Amino acid sequence: MAKRTIITLPGDGIGKVVLNEAIRVLDAAGFEAVYVNGDIGWEFWRSEGNPLPQRTIDLIAEHKIALFGAITSKPNEEAKAELNPELWGKGLVYSSPIVGLRQHFNLDICVRPCKSYKGNPLNFVRRGSGNAIEEPLVDAVIFRQNTEGLYSGVEWTNPPALVHQALMTHPKFVENFGSVPVDELSISTRIFTRKATMRILMAAFEHAKKFGYKSVTLCEKPNVIRETSGLMWRLARDIQKNTFQEIALHNTNIDAQMMWLTKNPEDYGVIVAGNMFGDIVSDALQDLSEDLDLHAVHSSHQMG
DSSP 19-70: HHHHHHHHHHTT--EEEEE---SHHHHHHHS-SS-HHHHHHHHHH--EEEEE
Q: What pTM did the predictor assign?
A: 0.86
Assess contact for 209 and 245: CB atoms under 8 A.
no
The pLDDT of residue 304 is 26
The pLDDT of residue 276 is 96
CATH 1.10.10.60 fits 109-149+190-301, yes or no: no
DSSP state of 120: -
Q: Which candidate, 192, 180, 241, places its Cα nearest to that of 221? A: 192
Spans of all domains in the chain: 4-105, 109-149+190-301, 155-188
User: If 0-12 CB within 10 Å is exposed, 13-18 middle and 19+ buried, where does residue 242 land?
Assistant: exposed
The pLDDT of residue 291 is 52
Distance CA 225, CA 192 (A): 12
The pLDDT of residue 2 is 74
User: If 0-12 CB within 10 Å is exposed, 13-18 middle and 19+ buried, where does residue 216 land?
Assistant: buried
Distance CA 202, CA 270 (A): 12
Assess contact for 279 and 219: CB atoms under 8 A.
no
Q: How far is C-alpha 111 from the geometric centre of its chain's CA atoms?
A: 9
The pLDDT of residue 298 is 42
Q: Which candidate, 36, 42, 74, places its Cα nearest to that of 58? A: 36
* CA-to-CA dists, residue 186 to 53, 101, 163, 189, 272, angstroms: 27, 25, 12, 10, 29
Distance CA 4, CA 33 (A): 5
Assess contact for 287 and 235: CB atoms under 8 A.
no
Bridge-based pairing of strands 133-134 and 4-11 is: unpaired
Q: Which amino acid makes up residue 150? A: L
Collect the ranges in the chain with pLDDT lower than 50: 297-304
Distance CA 111, CA 143 (A): 5
List the Cα angle 258/262/263 in 5-degree steps.
115
Return the SS3 of 207.
helix
Assess contact for 285 and 114: CB atoms under 8 A.
yes
Q: Which candidate, 124, 107, 116, 99, places its Cα nearest to that of 291? A: 116
Assess contact for 273 and 145: CB atoms under 8 A.
yes
